[in-house]
Amino acid sequence: MAATIKMVAELAGVSVATVSKYLNGGNVYAENRIKVQAAVDALNYKVNEVARSLKTNKTNTIGILAPSIQSIFITGVISQIQYKLLECGYSTLIVDYQMNDDLEKRQLDILLKRQVDGIVIFPRENEKDLVNTIKDQNIPVVTVDNMLEGIACDAVLADNMGGAYEATEELIKHQHKRIGIIAGPAYMYTAKERLKGYFRAHEDYFIGLEEELICYGEYTEQSGYKCFNELMNLREPPTAIFVTNYHMTIGALGAVNERNMKLPEELSLIAFDQLEFASIMRPPISVVEQPLKQIGEKVAEIILRRMKEDWRDFPHIERLKTTLKRTGSVAGNIIK
Amino acid sequence: MAATIKMVAELAGVSVATVSKYLNGGNVYAENRIKVQAAVDALNYKVNEVARSLKTNKTNTIGILAPSIQSIFITGVISQIQYKLLECGYSTLIVDYQMNDDLEKRQLDILLKRQVDGIVIFPRENEKDLVNTIKDQNIPVVTVDNMLEGIACDAVLADNMGGAYEATEELIKHQHKRIGIIAGPAYMYTAKERLKGYFRAHEDYFIGLEEELICYGEYTEQSGYKCFNELMNLREPPTAIFVTNYHMTIGALGAVNERNMKLPEELSLIAFDQLEFASIMRPPISVVEQPLKQIGEKVAEIILRRMKEDWRDFPHIERLKTTLKRTGSVAGNIIK
DNA sequence: TTGAAAGCGTTACCAT
DNA sequence: ATGGTAACGCTTTCAA
């Protein structure tokens, strides 16, 4: 049976109120401080956060609603959020909805029932209702890696357009004119932004866009594989391909192997996302990396501010710079 | 302001006791059921789990204490645990101690203060004290991917010895006689077991062990790189290498590239762990995979049983079979 | 500075 | 079946 504040008070010979004040850093006679601390030690007392939460109406917990916890992007960001929040005395309740709409609702419900003080959500597409539900309860919410259009909500994401622009530009500068893109689902904000970066780079360098060079995948390995083959089966295949996320890159590289193609001689390739294995591929894969740490830090910072009722810059949209890692998967003469 | 049970009771014109009974599936007049449900809907009432927990002394939460949530092994297992527990109405509070002893203690403290009903821990080495602390509080605890020796505790892990045996045997069957191993830290249980499998296979096939072929890494990328080079710099280097975890495999493969070596012609290689990229390497890397899902399921099953006070088979040690994926990174004539 | 007591939202006992 | 009420462990107000 765990010790309670009452037991501590009795052992120390003071009132419960005094113990509470001591524990929360209030003014207590030096003499009593010692007695209370002795009792705490003797009983190995630990405050019951459940009771505290009920009384204070604050759980010091923020919920994180993620589509999956098996993606390095997501866990990297979450890990950083956790770390930052921990410093400020907050815990995180992470729930994973396995890309399933129903489960997502249930999981959000759980977070709400547990009275989390704030929510971080990695939306996929249609969670406007969810976000509104949360806002209705006056719970701060920050979205990550996506923007829910037509809704006022803080959001933190990578500069997807900028990153995609940089990737495309890198290919263009290597003299590529026919650049294929394996894009994400047309309804996803990040996918749209990445595509936009690809478009802009073409415009800026006066290269015409070819419809057939744009293939929409589903951010999955299978679709990456399929799109890659579609692009390479064109009458006039691209000389370079930009793959816009991790899983599709795996699929595309599988197809590269199957076709026994040599990178970068036969094809230049550049990817978007965190690729732990990028450096050990032969050749290493050039990649536009997202700033995981900074994203996590920014999310934590914003949600902490909101929980302190600081709404000055609401809604805040933060786009963080990506990093292009140039390695050996892009070939061609460099112009410029 | 969120609705409370009292507000529901008032609106429905019944007592809070009746509402509570209704919510918890007790016997309530059909007429009242309807009235209460109507009030619940009207107010968008959601039970306050914090208050419920205080009263029932159960949080329906289990804590997961992991060294990091950025490893696919760990997140794969956690994801499965979450999923299974969710079905039974439990949530999971995941905390990540970033391989840091102090942080680990703090995080455990948080779990305890939050009154979790059970704890799953991925220990590294010296968490016997921690586990005892938990047991002292009568909180069920299950360890994953490690065995704390000299302590009675449920444990679920891959059959590390069997998997390592199989990997080594695979190499032996391809006529390799000088097989290097990049082992884990000598103090880690899983590392010891994997090494033991390597030893046993040598014994069973009457191949002498060579001290110099055993290199102890730290389960990190850097150490994998370093060990690989040490092995290949031997006067008589191995013809095959068994790398015993994910990170060291990345390091080793980096060294392979740097040396511009051709797998499997110049060296056979086999790895242990989940390697998402194994199949897209050229050649694909043969790998002994851990049964993530089954590990997660088993953990959930055991902790659920313990929380129900079913201690029949305590302490239960479960070793789950690994799977050898044969691909193209092992060469040699096959004997059998 | 201290302590008695109210009350957070819920459950569960017990009388009705 | 229903409802009044005590109790869970804590914080906070207010009087002393």
B277–A277 C-beta distance less than 8 A = yes
User: Is it the case that residue A317 has pLDDT exceeding 80?
Assistant: yes
What share of chain B has pLDDT > 70, as a percent? 99
Which residue is closest to D5 in terms of CA–C1' distance?
B17
B91–A93 C-beta distance less than 8 A = yes
The answer to whether B17 CB sits below 7 Å from nucleic acid chain D is yes
Overall average pLDDT of the A235-248 stretch: 97
DSSP-assigned letter for residue A211: G
B2–A137 C-beta distance less than 8 A = yes
Per-residue confidence (pLDDT) for residue A335, from 0 to 100: 57
Per-residue confidence (pLDDT) for residue B226, from 0 to 100: 98
Residues 266-285 of A with CB under 8 A from B: 276-277, 279-282, 284
pLDDT (tens digit, 9 = 90+) per residue, A77-95? 999 999 999 999 999 999 9
Residues 127-146 of B with CB under 8 A from A: 137
Cα separation of A143 and A152, whole Å? Answer: 11
Strand A91-96 to B154-158 pairing: unpaired
The alpha-helical segments, DSSP class H, found in chain B are: 5-12, 16-23, 30-43, 49-56, 72-87, 101-113, 128-136, 160-173, 189-204, 221-232, 246-258, 292-307
Q: And the tokens for A301?
A: 């910072």
Q: Is the model more confident about A149 or about B218?
A: B218
Would you tell me which residues have their CB within 7 A of strand C? A 14-18, 21, 26-29, 31-32, 51, 54-55, 57; B 2, 4-6, 16-17, 20-21, 23-24, 47-48, 51-52, 54-56
Residues 157-216 of A with CB under 8 A from B: none
Residues of B in contact with A256 (CB under 8 A): 280
Question: Picking from A331-335, B56-60, B330-334, which range would have the lowest pLDDT averaged per residue?
Answer: A331-335
Q: What predicted TM-score, i.e. pTM, was given to this entire model?
A: 0.93
User: Is it the case that residue B98 has pLDDT exceeding 70?
Assistant: yes
Among partner residues B50, B78, B276, which is closest to A50 by beta-carbon distance? Answer: B50
Do residues B272 and B245 make contact, with C-beta atoms less than 8 angstroms apart? yes
Q: CA at A108, C1' at C4: how many angstroms apart?
A: 41
Per-residue confidence (pLDDT) for residue B332, from 0 to 100: 77
Per-residue confidence (pLDDT) for residue A288, from 0 to 100: 97
φ and ψ at B316, to 5 degrees?
A: -100, 125
Strand A323-325 to A286-289 pairing: antiparallel
Overall average pLDDT of the B129-138 stretch: 92
Cα separation of B74 and B298, whole Å? Answer: 14
Rg (CA), chain B: 26
Q: And the tokens for B217?
A: 């890494």
Give the residue from chain A lying closest to B110, CA to CA. Answer: A91
Per-residue confidence (pLDDT) for residue B163, from 0 to 100: 98
User: Is it the case that residue A7 has pLDDT exceeding 80?
Assistant: yes
**Strand extents, DSSP E, A17-131:** 61-66, 91-96, 118-121
Max CA pair span of chain B: 88
Do residues B273 and B246 make contact, with C-beta atoms less than 8 angstroms apart? yes
Cα separation of B193 and B162, whole Å? Answer: 9
Is the Cα torsion angle A188, A191, A193, A195 positive or negative in sign? negative
B211: Cα separation from own chain's centroid = 31
Among partner residues B70, B83, B114, which is closest to A72 by beta-carbon distance? Answer: B70
pLDDT (tens digit, 9 = 90+) per residue, B177-199? 999 999 999 999 999 999 999 99
Domains and CATH numbers, chain A: 5-47 (no CATH), 57-158+292-320 (3.40.50.2300), 160-290 (3.40.50.2300)
Average pLDDT score over chain A: 94
Per-residue confidence (pLDDT) for residue B130, from 0 to 100: 92
DSSP assignment of B56-108: HT---EEEEEES-S--HHHHHHHHHHHHHHHHTT-EEEEEE-TT-HHHHHHHH
Q: Is the model more confident about A335 or about B36?
A: B36
Residue environment code for B178-197, b if the CB has 16+ CB neighbours within 10 A, otherwise e? bbbbbbbbeebbbbbbbbeb
Which residue is closest to C8 in terms of CA–C1' distance?
A55
CB pairs under 8 A between A and B: 114
Q: CA at A17, C1' at D14: how many angstroms apart?
A: 13
Helix (H, G, I), strand (E, B) or coil at A129: helix
What share of chain A has pLDDT > 90, as a percent? 88
HSE-up of residue B285 (Cα within 13 Å, Cβ side): 29
Per-residue confidence (pLDDT) for residue B335, from 0 to 100: 58
Spell out the long-range contacts of B138-147 with Cβ–Cβ below 8 A and sequence spacing 24 or more.
B139/B112, B140/B303, B140/B306, B140/B307, B142/B118, B142/B299, B142/B302, B142/B303, B142/B306, B144/B77, B144/B120, B144/B295, B144/B299, B145/B73, B145/B77, B145/B190, B145/B295, B146/B122, B146/B188, B146/B189, B146/B190, B147/B189, B147/B317
User: Is it the case that residue A11 has pLDDT exceeding 60?
Assistant: yes
Per-residue confidence (pLDDT) for residue A334, from 0 to 100: 66
pLDDT confidence tier of residue A38, bands split at 50, 70 and 90:
very high
User: Is it the case that residue A336 has pLDDT exceeding 80?
Assistant: no
Closest by CA to A105, choosing from A124, A74, A125, A129, is A129
Q: And the tokens for B66?
A: 């992991």
Closest by CA to B61, choosing from B88, B36, B23, B92, is B92
DSSP-assigned letter for residue B326: -
Per-residue confidence (pLDDT) for residue A194, from 0 to 100: 98
Cα separation of B16 and B8, whole Å? Answer: 8
Per-residue confidence (pLDDT) for residue B157, from 0 to 100: 96
pLDDT (tens digit, 9 = 90+) per residue, B249-281? 999 999 999 999 999 999 999 999 999 889 888
